[in-house]
């Protein structure tokens, strides 16, 4: 199901109507970076003043980076953080008429309700995909101290899955080439079309037996 959002009414929006239109870059990762900034501005203006960013809000605006990276062929997890909007991107958004870009971003990246999106059936493919998600969230939350407990959980998930996938005594152990092939077989592009925080919750449930 596609998501539709209406930006909150505020004096800032009235001022934005007279500002120049915000254009989304043609390049996929640059567009993801701008869309993450747009969604972050949208969510922060809707939040109670002074309230720190909630984890689910972080998931909403960080998902554009995950989707953009997952659509690249070949998939390269090292590019994920390049799709997160910077402070400069947010300033550009705030100086523009960004409201029309909210739904444009959702359409551009095919953002869906991912709550019921299943992990790959294969244990190996699910583990490889969950390792990508956990690494991304661990690194992306480095600049959000108030979300340190969640970051610690993702770091634990990442370390646990990496050990499990690398263990030579484990029948599920993978070489780097096999790991990359498992991501492709698991359909990371389709799996990643949604909120990474929700995906991580599914991963934690799937591999709870390893996290004990």
Q: What is the pLDDT of residues 60-113, one digit of tens each?
A: 899 899 888 877 777 787 888 999 999 999 999 999 999 999 999 999 988 866
Residue 4 lies in a domain: no
Residue 118 lies in a domain: no
Of 73 and 180, the one with more pLDDT: 73
For every residue of 85-129, DSSP letters joined together read --HHHHHHHHTSB-TTHHHHHHHHTT-B--TTPPPPSSHHHHHHH
Residue count of the chain, please give it: 212
Residue 162 lies in a domain: yes
Domain boundary among the residues 108, 132, 166 is at: 108
What is the predicted pLDDT for the residue at 178? 66
Note whether 134 and 191 are same-domain residues. yes
Find the domain containing 143 and state its range: 123-211
Domain boundary among the residues 79, 108, 137 is at: 108
What is the predicted pLDDT for the residue at 201? 93
Task: Report the alpha-carbon angle 145-52-46, nearest 5.
Answer: 145
Which residues, in sequence order, are bridge partners of residue 97?
A: 21
174 CA to centre of own chain: 25
What is the predicted pLDDT for the residue at 168? 60
Note whether 101 and 146 are same-domain residues. no
Note whether 92 and 50 are same-domain residues. yes
pTM of the predicted model, to two decimals?
0.81
Of 76 and 2, the one with more pLDDT: 76
């Amino acid at each position: 199901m596609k998501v539709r959002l209406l930006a909150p009414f505020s004096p800032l929006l009235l001022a934005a109507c007279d500002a120049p239109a915000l254009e989304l870059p043609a390049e996929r990762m640059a567009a993801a970076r701008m869309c993450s900034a747009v969604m972050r501005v949208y969510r922060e203006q809707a939040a109670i003043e002074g309230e720190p960013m909630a984890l689910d809000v972080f998931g909403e605006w960080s998902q554009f980076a995950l989707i953009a990276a997952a659509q690249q062929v070949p998939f390269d997890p090292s590019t994920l953080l390049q799709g997160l909007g910077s402070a400069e991107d947010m300033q550009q958004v705030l100086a523009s008429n960004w409201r029309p870009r909210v739904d444009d971003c959702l359409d551009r990246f095919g953002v869906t309700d991912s709550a019921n999106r299943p992990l790959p059936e294969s244990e190996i493919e699910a583990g490889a995909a969950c390792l990508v998600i956990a690494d991304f969230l661990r690194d992306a939350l480095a600049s959000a101290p108030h979300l340190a407990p969640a970051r610690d959980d993702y770091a634990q998930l990442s370390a646990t899955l990496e050990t499990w996938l690398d263990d030579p005594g484990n029948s599920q152990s993978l070489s780097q080439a096999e790991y990359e092939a498992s991501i492709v077989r698991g359909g990371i592009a389709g799996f990643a079309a949604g909120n990474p925080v929700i995906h991580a919750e599914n991963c934690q449930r799937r591999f709870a037996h390893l996290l004990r």
